[in-house]
Structure 1
Amino acid sequence: MTAISIESEPVREIMDKHDKIVVLGAAGLVGQNLIVELKAQGYDNLVAIDKHEYNLGMLAKLHPDVVTVLADLAEPGAWREHLRGAVRVMQLQAQITGKDPQLFVRNNIESTKLVLDAIHEFAVPFLVHISSSVVNSVADDDYTNTKKEQERLVVDSGVPCCVLRPTLMFGWFDPKHLGWLSRFMEKVPVFPIPGHGRYMRQPLYNRDFCKIIVRCMEKMPTGAVYDIVGDQRIDYVDIIHTIKRVKGLKTPIVHIPYTLFYWLLKGYSLFSAKPPFTADQLKALTAGDDFTGVDTEREFDVRQTPFEAAIRESYCDPRYAGIVLQR
């Protein structure tokens, strides 16, 4: 599935660069990049809400002109008032990893119910909701199941909105995924690969995705659901070799039997409250998903950055490559 249009409407207004835009979950990977992109495009009335104090503080330091609000969206509170007068709300908050199933329910479902209630109360004209490609996945885990329920809540809410389902993302600020792997490779004597490593991935460059978010914010494609996929298919082992080459590293890459790799992750999770890579994620990596997405250049006028160029900018660019979020 590439795009579903439900009661699609034409553009109803032209946004002003001074319109109030509220970004929920703003201190995470997508949010930090989205703030950079919004400012680059001239938007100057931004409100960033997040519960992660350190990461939100980093955002405030990088962008002192942005209003930052430390708040937990899964709890009623004064954060709701910041939606008053908003012309757009961007919903990014998500629980992606964790060992407690209730965290996924709380942060993916309960927070969304409260956000939708506030959007109704203040009659926000349009919501851009960031879902995930996992809603089309064969995976069966807490993240996948709660993201499916979260998307259903949004689509059934009656709020004018569009839904974006990105695949695995990478880019500036990334504390997990490819960002963590690139830093891990710098520190270890050998870099382990599970099995043969020929697990096809469709990584999406975050800066490209943020440009798509802004286009949806401006065009208001009400009722549309878009699958946003990295347009280059690349095996996991080749991703690792690309990172090694771009960063000029000499770390040997060693293949480890899949079963051994799985149990090593299981064992590590017993001693780490926030493991950077889990056994469930390993299952998802090897699930064999092959996603089909919209043509981002035709649909949004966003030509995707070639993978190696995007990796180079992500991990070598002096502007933000050295800034890493806390998990």
Structure 2
Amino acid sequence: MILITGGAGFIGGNFVHHWFERRERLGLPREQVVVFDKLTYAGNPATIQAQIASGDAILVHADICDRDAVRNALATHKPRAVLHFAAESHVDRSIHGPGEFIQTNMVGTFTLLEEVRAYWGAMETADKAAFRFHHVSTDEVYGSLSDTDPAFSETTAYQPNSPYSASKAGSDHLVRAYHHTYGLPVLTTNCSNNYGPYHFPEKLIPLMILNALDGKPLPVYGDGLNIRDWLYVRDHCEAICQVLEKGTLGETYNIGGINEIKNIDVVTTICRKLDELRPRADGAKYESQITYVTDRPGHDRRYAIDPTKVQRDIGWRPAQTFETGIDHTVRWYLENTEWIDTVRSGAYRDWISRNYEGRQG
């Protein structure tokens, strides 16, 4: 059994799907997962409802900051590994309310590490040697790159520029410290921007898809020339599986999609795909809905991941290009309106209104 924090969120939920599909594809025994999730606005049990209904996944509705709940889950389910996805993850939200990010990403990770350390320390020798704590982090901890800077490597100095990235940098340091101080068998992966199915609609790609379909403006920050390295979420999930199996304890692995793309090009690609798959009734192009809005504070200009280490040491490479990945993604949003309706709550609409109100350029 493995325990997954944040397993009802975007990446964690996709990982639950990928875990069972991968094991079936490789002929591995089915291994139950425990999903430990606070179920905030971005955690949706509908994402993993099939796995819960089949008994493959057990949902524990709890906060990683709750030591008793963490301790009880570990003692009850006795996982052989803990995969730590749980995090507050949206930069704009961290600007409006940084406290929740410090609490979840730093205090929550500390709480989890303390309880996992006690659990691991009491294990029998063989189980103790096999145990893993896998911490899932972000490339945003490295800061911002110019157009000519080399891509982030595992030795790039940390220079976080938002409350979100600072809180994730803090959690990375805690995980490293628990390995070097206590010997906790940890692995860390820092990924680039993920996209794909089950993505909460405040993030760039699902926001653009859904706003386009609703006939709403497609808000692009600043000049739209900020660059991100886009990683299809299932490629990320496969990388995590392989690092969990083959990674060297205490090491960090950068996971990137090898897809550096300007934000405006992401949006226009989505528009062209929707023109193909779901043309507007009036015959106009979706690009006509693009609206430039005032840039957000401290907006990092460019992120890029150098995945040489994970390719060399683990043997992982992304299977999807951006073109194939965005095709899968747009088609998924067109075909899964029921899931979308469950997450488009009043809180979501209030957030979009509050964040973009008054930003018209």
Q: Please classify the TM superposition score into its range, dividing by the shorter chain length.
A: 0.7 to 0.9
Q: Secondary structure at the match of 1:122?
A: helix
- How far residue 320 of structure 1 moved from its aligned partner, in angstroms, is 7.4
Q: What is the SS of the residue equivalent to 1:131?
A: strand
What residue number does 2:319 align with?
Answer: 304
Q: % of aligned pairs identical? A: 20
- Cα distance in 1 between the residues matched to 2:318 and 2:287: 34
Shift of the 242–150 alpha-carbon distance from structure 1 to 2, 3 Å rule, reads same
Q: Distance in 2 between matches of 1:312 and 1:321?
A: 14
Q: Quick check: 1:162–1:220 contact (8 Å CA) kept in 2? A: yes
The residue aligned with 2:251 is 224
Aligned partner letter, 1:140? N
1:247 offset after TM fit, Å?
A: 2.2
Q: Residues of 2 paired with 1:87 and 1:160: CA distance?
A: 12
Comparing both structures, which one devotes a greater share of its residues to helix? 2
Establish whether residue 35 from structure 1 lines up as the match of residue 16 from structure 2.
Answer: yes
Deviates more, 1:85-94 or 1:185-194: 185-194
**What do the CA deviations read for 1:143-192 (whole angstroms, capped 9, x no partner)?**
11111111000010122111110111111100132112211122235434
Deviation at 1:118, TM superposition (A): 1.5
Residue 235 of structure 1, CA deviation: 1.5
Which whole-Å deviations, capped at 9, do the CAs of 1:16-49 have from their partners, x for residues lacking one? xxxx110001111111100001011224311001
How far apart are the structure 2 equivalents of 1:318 and 1:251? 16
From 79, 83, 96, the equivalent of 1:90 is 83
SS of the aligned residue for 1:52 comes to coil
Correspondence for 2:270? 243
Instruction: Assess, with a 3 A threshold, how the Cα gap between structure 1 residues 320 and 113 changes in structure 2: closer, same or farther.
Output: farther
Of 145, 156, 160, which aligns to 2:177?
156
| 8 Å CA contact retained: 2:4, 2:35 | yes
Greater Cα shift, 44-53 or 193-202: 193-202
1:67 aligns with 2:88: no
Aligned to 1:44: 31
Shift of 1:245: 1.7
Q: 1:121 to 1:59 in 2, by over 3 A?
A: farther
1:261 alignment counterpart:
294
Q: Which position in structure 1 is the counterpart of 2:329?
A: 314
TM normalised by structure 2 equals 0.73
Q: Secondary structure at the match of 2:89?
A: coil
- Kept in 2: contact 1:50–1:56 (CA 8 A): no
Amino acid at match of 2:171: Q
SS of corresponding position for 1:287: coil
Higher relative contact order (CA 8 A, sep 6+): 1
- 1:1-327 to structure 2, matched below 5 A, reads 20-42=1-23, 43-52=30-39, 55-63=43-51, 64=53, 65=55, 66-84=57-75, 85-97=78-90, 98=93, 99-123=96-120, 125-138=131-144, 139-158=160-179, 159-175=184-200, 176-177=202-203, 178-248=205-275, 249=279, 250-253=285-288, 261-262=294-295, 279-280=296-297, 283-284=298-299, 286-294=300-308, 297-298=311-312, 299-317=314-332, 321-322=336-337, 323-324=339-340, 326=343
How far 1:294 moved relative to its partner?
A: 3.0
- Deviation of residue 318 (structure 1)? 7.9
What count of residue pairs does the alignment treat as equivalent? 287
Amino acid at match of 1:247: L
Q: Is the 8 A contact 1:60 1:68 kept in 2?
A: no
SS at match of 1:204: strand
Residue of structure 2 equivalent to 1:266: none
Q: Contact 2:102/2:167 (CA < 8 Å) preserved in 1?
A: yes
1:50 shift after superposition? 0.3
Q: Which whole-Å CA distance do the structure 2 matches of 1:293 and 1:228 have between them?
A: 6
Distance 1:179 1:75, change over 3 A: same
Q: TM-score, normalising length from structure 1?
A: 0.80
